[in-house]
Structure 1
Amino acid sequence: MRRSRRLLVALALLAPTLLGFAPGGSGETISLAGSEPGARLDVTLTQVVDPATPAGPDNPTGPDDPDGPDRLVATRFRLENTGTAVYRDSPAPATHLLDADGRRFTGIDLPTTAGPAFPAAVTLDPGATAEGFVTFRIPADAEPAAVQFALDAGLADDVGQWSLPLP
């Protein structure tokens, strides 16, 4: 059973390449297009903090959390608007973490001590850049395998994927 699960994970991680997604090596910059004319970002995954620590007491994680025992993973991105249109989007729902069992987790707006999080909405004029963290709440035993990012709140056809762990 474990072998078949690993095969499924391998297929899930290869699917982006086969379906036209833009795979990137750890720390590489991937150029992504949005669905609107002139929407384009260069996106770089620069850091992964695993586990991450919540920034305040209002952000529990662990056995007393209503979602059950889990941990936080914070991922730092650099976004550069290389298009001709103004970028207005929410980075957290545009970002997904895939684990070694093929599960997919959507980014959340949860501050951690890893560093400053992106605001709920980011606006970048052409040529402007922004950096910030997107956090994921994952099961304690999950093994992060990849992170994905797409414009249009994660719904754009052009998806970047980075393998984990970063070097």
Structure 2
Amino acid sequence: MLLGAAPGGAGETVSLSGTEPGQRLDVTLVRVVDPAAPAGAEGPAPDASTRLVAVQFSLENTGTAVYKDSPAPAAHLLNTSGQRFAGLNTATTAGDPFPDTVTLDPGGTADGHVAFRLPEDAVPEAVQFALNGGLADDVGQWSLL
């Protein structure tokens, strides 16, 4: 199922700063696919107790510095039980993942998916994204409920 737009949800763009001067990115949560099936032989398939959830992001470098980062570890999914799941560079049938490293000159854009492995019964509540591998203080959050 696609989780639709909600306050802070799909379609909303959040402007985020990184830890270095000139690092600024507009991040848009495009859609969430739950469950997402693994594509091809890349990565282990979920077992009966887990499933994959894919989140599509659109990134636009609105800063003055080159953006060079790995989007998967920059993203986290939180469930209604308070658990936090790290993003994975796993291809799913929802779409292609971001490359391991994305490099964007100012004004550059990139779209891709980040996958998350969740327990089968977990209810996704929110998605977070921060620059610098998820370590920047400026964190965007989108509600999925």
Q: Same fold (TM over 0.5)?
A: yes
Identity level (%): 67
CA RMSD of aligned residues (A): 1.2
Q: What is the Cα deviation at residue 116 of structure 1?
A: 1.3
Alignment of 1:39-78 (within 5 A): 39-58=23-42, 59-63=44-48, 69-78=49-58
- Name the counterpart of 2:93: 113
- Distance in 2, matches of 1:102 and 1:27, equals 24
Is the 1:90–1:153 Cα contact (8 Å) retained in structure 2?
yes
- Name the counterpart of 2:135: 155
Q: Which runs of 5+ in 2 are unaligned?
A: 1-6
TM-score under structure 2 length normalisation: 0.92
- Distance in 2, matches of 1:33 and 1:88, equals 13
Q: Does 1:133 align with 2:117?
A: no
Q: Deviations over 1:109-167 (max 9, x none)?
A: 111010111001000000000000000000000000000000000000000000005xx
TM-score under structure 1 length normalisation: 0.80
Q: Does 1:26 align with 2:6?
A: no
Give 1 or 2: higher helix fraction. Answer: 1
- Distance in 1, matches of 2:143 and 2:64, equals 29
Once superposed, which parts of structure 1, at least 4 consecutive aligned residues long, lie more than 6 Å away?
none
Q: Does 1:38 align with 2:18?
A: no
- Name the counterpart of 2:122: 142
Question: Which amino acid letter does the alignment assign opposite residue 33 of structure 1?
Answer: S
Q: Which runs of 5+ in 1 are unaligned?
A: 1-22, 64-68
- Distance in 2, matches of 1:60 and 1:113, equals 12
Alignment of 1:3-14 (within 5 A): none
- Distance in 2, matches of 1:108 and 1:35, equals 23
Q: How many positions carry a matched residue from both structures?
A: 138
Is the 1:27–1:162 Cα contact (8 Å) retained in structure 2?
no
